[in-house]
């Protein structure tokens, strides 16, 4: 909802901004697996979506990393 004291030109900028946010979120949703996309439905801004994806994909998995490093060493 746009406050009443906003200038008309600013309303156009806000509308453009919100349309761009929607486009970015759509692009992200079209670029990821459906199961991940359903997790993103609760977010309203591209930043919230991006922050969630960052948390999702930057979680450290030391056991997997250790296994991969051992597998790589075994190739040599």
Kindly report, residue by residue over 20-35, the tens digit of the pLDDT.
999 999 999 999 999 8
Assess if residue 38 is contained within a domain. yes
24 assigned to some structural domain: yes
Inside any domain, residue 16 = yes
In a domain, 51, yes or no: yes
- The answer to whether position 63 is within a domain reads yes
Residue 1 forms part of a structural domain: no
> What pLDDT score was predicted for residue 3?
60
Half-sphere exposure of 36 (CA within 13 A, CB side): 15
**pTM here?**
0.61
Domain of 37, in residue numbers? 8-75
Answer yes or no: is 3 within a domain.
no
What whole-number distance in Å separates Cα of residue 48 and Cα of residue 61? 23
At 58, give phi and psi (nearest 5°): -110, 10
Task: Residue 45: name the closest of 31, 24, 66 by CA.
Answer: 24
The number of domains in the chain is: 1
Note whether residue 69 is domain-resident.
yes
């Amino acid at each position: 909802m746009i406050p009443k004291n906003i200038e008309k030109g600013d309303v156009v900028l806000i509308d453009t901004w919100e349309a761009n946010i929607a486009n970015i979120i759509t692009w992200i949703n079209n670029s990821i697996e459906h199961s991940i996309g359903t997790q993103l439905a609760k977010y309203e801004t591209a930043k919230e979506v991006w922050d969630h994806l960052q948390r999702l994909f930057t979680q450290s998995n030391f056991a997997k990393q250790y296994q991969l490093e051992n597998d790589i060493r075994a190739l040599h």
